[in-house]
Amino acid sequence: MGDGEDRRTHANSSEEEALASNQAEGIGEKEELSKAESEAIVDAEAEAEPTEEEVKEAPAEGVETEEEAESETEEAETPEAPAAAAEEAPEGEEEIEVVEEKIYTIPLRHVWVVTPRGRRAPRAVRDVRNFVARHMKSDEVAVSNEINSEIWSRSINKPPRKITVRAVKDKEGKVIIYPSKGT
């Protein structure tokens, strides 16, 4: 049994013990009601609950009717933002609000000299991420699958000697690295 199961059984057992002790002391027991009093309570509860027809006719609070939902989707489809802000994203990229975009040629020849043969590709990926983080002044850097597969294309032993990337920074400060448009 894991720790989570111990806590759950312990919590349930303490509730059960409290309930049993309350019943033994007579706390929480309902007094027997007369037949007339119980019928009055049932009638009051029935009046408070809406019938099925009332529920179908009037929607609950906070729930939109179909007409209201359609009008809101039509309003959402007509963007009021200028057309210049919307850029065409290459395949596989989701649209992000670009704050800064730069193209870098990152040298990776030192990876060949410093790193053992069986660790070069992972080191190259780390170096690309660190290079872009340093130059774009951001701590959050994501490497796209295209860049990763380009580095790993010749196996772990032989990453490229240099790589050209396009770094895109969004309004939240996150940088994503894509292959440059020229390659």
> Mind listing the pLDDT tens digit for each residue in 85-119?
444 545 555 677 888 999 999 999 999 999 999 99
Q: What percentage of the chain has pLDDT greater than the value 90?
A: 44
Q: For 22-26, 124-128, 142-146, which range has the lowest pLDDT when averaged over its residues?
A: 22-26
Domain count for the chain, please give it: 1
Q: Which two tokens stand for residue 104?
A: 């870098």
User: Which residues, at least 6 apart from 73, have a Cβ–Cβ distance to it below 8 Å?
Assistant: none
Q: What percentage of the chain has pLDDT greater than the value 70?
A: 48
Using CA atoms, how far apart are residues 139 and 129, in angstroms rounded to an integer?
10
- DSSP codes of every residue in the chain: --HHHHHHHHHHHHHHHHHHHHHHHTTTPPPPPPHHHHHHHHHHHHHHSPPHHHHHHSPPTTPPPHHHHHHHHHHHHS--S-GGG--PPPTTPPP--EEEEEEEEEE-HHHHHHS-GGGHHHHHHHHHHHHHHHHHT-S-EEE-HHHHHHHHTTTTT---SEEEEEEEEETTS-EEEEE-TT-
Using CA atoms, how far apart are residues 143 and 175, in angstroms rounded to an integer?
9
pLDDT at 174: 95
pLDDT at 25: 55
CATH number of the CATH domain containing 110:
3.10.440.10
Model confidence pLDDT, tens digit, residues 133-166:
999 999 999 999 999 999 999 999 999 999 999 9
Residue 140 falls inside a structural domain: yes
Q: In this structure, are residues 140 and 108 in contact, taking their beta carbons and an 8 Å threshold?
A: no
Residue 139 falls inside a structural domain: yes
**To the nearest whole number, what is the mean pLDDT of the chain?**
74
Residue 168 falls inside a structural domain: yes
Using CA atoms, how far apart are residues 116 and 114, in angstroms rounded to an integer?
7
Residue 133 lies in domain: 97-179
Residue 66 falls inside a structural domain: no
Using CA atoms, how far apart are residues 129 and 121, in angstroms rounded to an integer?
12
pLDDT at 8: 52
**The dihedral sign for the CA sequence 85, 87, 92, 98:** negative
Which region, left, alpha or beta, applies to residue 93 given φ > 0 means left and ψ of -120 to 50 means alpha? beta
Residue 33 falls inside a structural domain: no
Residue 79 falls inside a structural domain: no
Residue 32 falls inside a structural domain: no
Residue 137 falls inside a structural domain: yes
How does residue 181 score in pLDDT terms, banded at 50, 70 and 90? confident
Instruction: Determine the average pLDDT of the residues in 52-72.
Output: 54
Q: In this structure, are residues 136 and 70 in contact, taking their beta carbons and an 8 Å threshold?
A: no
